[in-house]
Chains A and B, each alone.
Chain A
Amino acid sequence: MPAYAQSYARPETLPEALRLMADGGWLPLAGGTDLYPGAGPALAGRVLDLTGMAGLTGLLRQDGLRIGATTSWADIMAADLPSGLWALQQAAGMVGGRQVQVAGTIGGNLCNASPAADGVPPLLALDAKVELASLAGVRRLPLADFLLGPRRTALQPGELLTAVLVPDAALHGGSSFVRLGARRHLVISIAMVAARLVVGKGRVTEAAVAVGSCSAVALRLPAVEAALVGQPVSEAVGRVQADVVQAALSPIDDVRASAAYRCEAAVELVRRAVAECLEGMGR
């Protein structure tokens, strides 16, 4: 048997995968879209391929929505999902190109923990939790507690992210995702916003707004949400205050844009996300 057989495993069941993870030293591999860039002709080290486990992929309506960790962006985009998930589906269609959407997974996007991860703002707006499994058992963490910083997560040694869980309450209402880049496709966002709103009797009854690429980790904006709740639909966009949005953000200067511009653009994107969300619900 070639030596490399010891460096690759593609288990078909979760317990088998968790046993390997408990051994330590295995690098979990899902779509590969974040691991292969920067690699040589092959990935180095011991690689645990997660895509052989049927139970880790697919979307399941069950006390809300369970999205298997290795569900691809293409599958999320193609699924028939409630309107609270529209923002996530829009984001799914903007992750890389078709090739990356076919291979890239929602779990990989979260574990890679890029400040510019397209999947994060929509999931934050959905009050999503992540399911983390190890031989010690299963725990669930709010996504905001899972993402600790750029390229840092709360994954413990031996743990795998197995699913993303969206609570039933968050499936309702409408949602939208807007993002900003310097070109049409294959763009790393300068800033992006997901909004999810529930409307009753002409007023906003629930609001969730999250901004990405404008802080070390994408954020919900509770103060903005509070200002929206209770407002008549027609006045909602006007209730988005620039200083309230900007107070929450801490963007950086990089090759894509200046920090000052990101702050300014984020305000506009929040307003547009809210407007598009309401418009989408009206259709």
Chain B
Amino acid sequence: MIGFTLNGAAVTVAAPPTERLSETLRERLGMVGTKVGCDAGDCGACTVLLDGKAVCACLTPAARVAGRQVTTIEGATPELARLRASFLALGAAQCGICTPGMLLTAAELLTRTPQPTAPEVETALGGVLCRCTGYRSIIAAVVAAGQGAAAPVTEGGVGASVQRLDGAAKIAGDSFGADAWPPGALLVKALRSPHAHAAFTIGDLAAFRARAGVVAVFTAVDIPGRNAFSVIPTFADQPAIAASPARFRGECVALVAFAPEAAPDLSAFPILWTPLPALSTPEAAETGPLIHADRPGNLLVEGRVRKGDAAAALAASAHVVEGSMTTGFVEHAYIEPEAGAAWMDKGTLVIRACTQAPAMDREDTASILGLDVGQVRIIASAVGGGFGSKLDVSLQPLIGLVTLKTGRPCRMVYTRAESMTSTTKRHPASMRGQIGCDVNGRITAVAFDGCFNTGAYSSWGPTVANRVPVHVSGPYLTPNITATARAIHTHGPVSGAFRGFGVPQGALWQETLFDRLADMAGIDRLEFRILNALRDGDASATGQVLRATGIHDCLTALRPHWTRALGDARDQPGRGVGVAACWYGCGNTALPNPSTIRIGLSQDGKVVLHQGATDIGQGSNTVIAQIAAEALGLPLSAFRLVGPDTALTPDAGKTSASRQTFVSGRAAKAAAEALRAAILLRANAGQGARLALAGSDLVLRDGAAETRIDLSALPPDRFGQAISAEATYDPPTTRLDADGQGAPYAVYGYGAQLVELAVDRALGTVTLLKITAAHDLGRVINPILARGQIEGGIAQGIGLALMEEYLPGRTENLHDYLIPTFGDVPPIESLLIEVPDPEGPYGAKGLGEHVLIPTAPAILNAIRHATGAEITRVPALPHRVREALRP
């Protein structure tokens, strides 16, 4: 027995002495606030205090804490109390998965250094990774905690910097996919292909099943339904469990369910691998053997936009720039590996897991398992980061299968390596083409060809292939365009959705060429963009006449910063300034994309918001509620959130394509307005009536008249509420024709970013000094959450530009795969621009993906400004920058 003091109380626990303390705390002591991100000391998520000092619990043998003090996030200290308040007030917790580790590491700092400076915070917290915030808000929150208590904002409608409604859970150690499971849950492990392409034969399973601890083994033959899924059903091609051959490294080929107390071990699993030649690049794949028999040339989809005559316009242009850009696989690297649990509830298969798309999970899982959709219930756990990869099912059908077949509850937690090898990536892109302008610098034409490595299965490859040509003009008036993007299958990891669906890659190509073109035209690079910026009434590349085009406002907002930055950089060796812009259509591309939101008043006097728009850290729990509160006229503090849960919440679609604020926001506004109308009708009150809740009484004041409705006396409606309403919103779009012409999106958001940096010419290293980001949100629903999105998106853009490249078999951990750390993200000044879109709720537009798009090209443009070096392949690792600097 190991005896120690845990959060001030004496505990004893029986555990193997060298068991990871994280395991002991979570599995034996129920302290699931300690999060496990990597089991390698690379992420710091599992940080606890051991005798007051920060250590990774995953690297600490349980026996070593004997007789000592351990503090976890379940504990309470004066430092933690100040930090928690500060994190809430300053938006320092987004998804919340890194938050326990951040808080505890910061708590140690405050005991050593009660009033730390920002550089002291950065150094002290450098061992904890965050994928959401970009770190700046965390630094600010810890500095503020040293200065005293922060004042929280808990009330407010549209425009208020209200703290996250789910924030209290985040700072307490929220309940993610790995953090809740039924008693007696079997432990599920997947056997995965160690090869990019390999045939396999499975040996004597009976013998393996007979091993101690093994409860059940499943292979492809055990899948009762259709063993093929895709986020786009018509492309369904990916098996939940592959039959031979495996088509990518990390593909699941068998499942083993172990007894709850077993030590899972797959090393004796009877399988014989025969590696086969693998197609690792699109170039090889386009002329190679077919990976899917029905896709000639291994072509999944080619997207195309054609308007005018680009070739003729280029030939007639005063200036033409030609260039290429290459990007690699990029890993989402959320700190929460995929995790979840499954159990039967009467006849229903219940799956609780981290997800961005509960309704899609339900459909896919039901199809794979041969169930009716109504027999599957998906409960979304808190999600420790998603960024697109948790749109696709991962373990949902796997744990569903185990529970369905065994009748027993089960759970599964991916290792970091499993998460990295088996889930989707950003598409590697190989892009080339030309852009021309006339003698005055006005863009004449764009000719673009992009090849996107979509990996072994379809996932979101079609979406990327279609989105890129639509967006590759950038937010600039482009009268002539020919743009094609091909998604080509390889035996690489499945490329899917990652914040921007290929648009960031396209912007890297277009925005870096713009700088060269501006130079050829002899025009300042920012002014060149302002000159060409789309304006209201302009037609886009797809022929859509635009309104509420905020790009001109974003670019002009940067003017004073640009002038100042260029002045600061002048005559400073190695200093450079770059700018790039973005636009991004919110919601599905030219496809239906509805959200439904339900809102009601309970009999006990609460506003119950059925909020199915999954909050993966971006803030939909708060933003959707703020919109609803504004429309309903009741305070946020009266709100109670329900869901996302396919049994309780109507389908608010998936958290993707920067659509929740816009699409679910519109549905929430409509639902709240309908509820308000129903209330006013019931009380026969006028439109201007003010609503309030007093206990179970709903109070209406209309001028001098006051009406009270006793909600507890009303019979419950079919949703169990005293009064409720539901509304659906589907953005109006049109299909694209064969030339990609049409109105694919109802709302676009815009942005532009200015990067200041210094290049160390001798080493090729880049130090970012400041980023100024102007983004048009239409209407800012919550400024602090908006800034959090901007800072977090910029951090991922920095990673794309400077350090991130996923190489199968080589960077399957968080020390070889580098994401930005504290200190890699410079101070960020956010300029929130509001050009209201008549289609958005209160004018609001999407933001989540826009914010990543301009960062990487702006960095490359600043490197070129600083040194003349033209980088055409990212990440711009030091050796590549150095190479580009060679005369």
Contact = CB atoms under 8 A, between A and B. Distances in A.
A183 B803 contact: yes
Given A41-B23, A180-B878, A99 B39 contact: no
Contact of B59 (A7, A103, A264, A269): A103
Nearest to A103: B55
B803 A186 contact: no
Interface in A35-68: 36-43, 47, 49, 51
Interface in A14-34: 29, 31-33
A43 B61 contact: yes
Contacts of A10: 17, 63-64
B762 interface: yes
B815 A184 contact: no
A88 to B, nearest CB: 18
A31 B821 contact: no
B128 interface: yes
B878 A8 contact: no
Contacts of B877: 182, 256-257
Interface residues on A, range: 35 or more
Interface in A67-109: 74, 93, 96-103
B818 A187 contact: yes
Interface string A226-257: 00000000000000000000000000000111
Which of the four size classes fits the interface of chain B?
35 or more
A96 B127 contact: yes
B56 interface: yes
Contacts of B819: 183
A255 B807 contact: yes
Interface string B846-887: 000000000000000000000000000001011100110000
A89 B650 CA distance: 58
B763 A268 contact: yes
A29 B61 contact: yes
A10 B61 CA distance: 11
Contacts of A49: 17, 61, 63-64
B17 A99 contact: no
A180 B765 contact: yes
B11 interface: no
A221 interface: no
A185 to B, nearest CB: 3
B40 A38 contact: yes
Interface in B649-690: none
A103 to B, nearest CB: 5
A98 B108 contact: yes
B474 to A, nearest CB: 28
A13 interface: no
A180 B878 CA distance: 9
Given A8-B18, A98-B108, A182 B59 contact: no
A42 B765 contact: no
B818 A183 contact: yes
B17 A37 contact: no
Given A42-B23, A43-B18, A255-B811, A184 B824 contact: yes
Interface in B585-643: none
Given A42-B18, A42-B20, A49-B63, A100 B824 contact: no
A268 B762 contact: yes
Interface in B755-797: 762-765
A132 to B, nearest CB: 24
Question: Which interface residue of B17, B18, B59, B763 has the most chain A CB atoms within 10 A?
Answer: B18
A265 interface: yes
Interface in B276-290: none
B127 A99 contact: yes
B59 A186 contact: no
A109 to B, nearest CB: 13
Contacts, number: 166
Which of the listed residues A4, A42, A180, A190 has the most CB atoms from chain B within 10 Å of its own CB?
A42
B126 A180 contact: no
A97 B128 contact: yes
Contacts of A4: 16-17
A265 to B, nearest CB: 6
A98 B124 contact: yes
Nearest to A261: B879
Contacts of A100: 41, 56, 59, 127
Interface string B811-855: 101011011111110000000000000000000000000000000
Contact of B42 (A7, A98, A186): A186
B53 interface: yes
B105 interface: yes
Contacts of B807: 255
B47 interface: yes
Contacts of A182: 765, 802-803, 818, 875, 877-878
B815 A99 contact: no
A245 B816 CA distance: 27
Nearest to B766: A182
A281 B442 CA distance: 58
Interface string B68-89: 0000000000000000000000
B58 interface: yes
B278 to A, nearest CB: 19
B60 interface: yes
Given A7-B17, A8-B63, A182-B878, A37 B55 contact: no
Interface string B22-63: 010000000000000001111010010010011110111101
A37 B812 CA distance: 13
A99 B50 CA distance: 10
B810 interface: yes
A37 B105 contact: no
Interface in B529-576: none
B322 interface: no
Given A182-B878, A185-B127, A37 B763 contact: no
Nearest to B815: A188
Contact of B821 (A36, A186, A255): A186
Nearest to A262: B879
B878 A102 contact: no
Contacts of A32: 59-61
A282 interface: no
A103 B824 contact: no
Interface string A260-278: 1100110011000000000
B205 interface: no
A279 to B, nearest CB: 17
A51 B60 CA distance: 12
B52 to A, nearest CB: 10
Contacts of B63: 8, 10, 49
Contacts of B50: 102
Given A29-B18, A98-B105, A255-B811, A37 B40 contact: yes
A257 B617 CA distance: 34
B217 interface: no
Contacts of A43: 18, 61
Contact of A185 (B14, B16, B126, B763): B126
Query: Closest 6 CB pairs between A and B?
Result: A97-B127, A184-B823, A185-B126, A261-B879, A37-B40, A8-B17
13 contacts: A7-B18, A8-B18, A10-B17, A32-B59, A32-B61, A42-B16, A43-B18, A98-B124, A182-B878, A185-B126, A185-B823, A186-B42, A268-B763
Given A29-B61, A97-B128, A184-B821, 16 more contacts: A32-B61, A39-B39, A47-B18, A97-B44, A98-B54, A98-B126, A98-B127, A100-B56, A103-B60, A182-B878, A183-B818, A183-B821, A185-B823, A185-B824, A261-B764, A265-B878
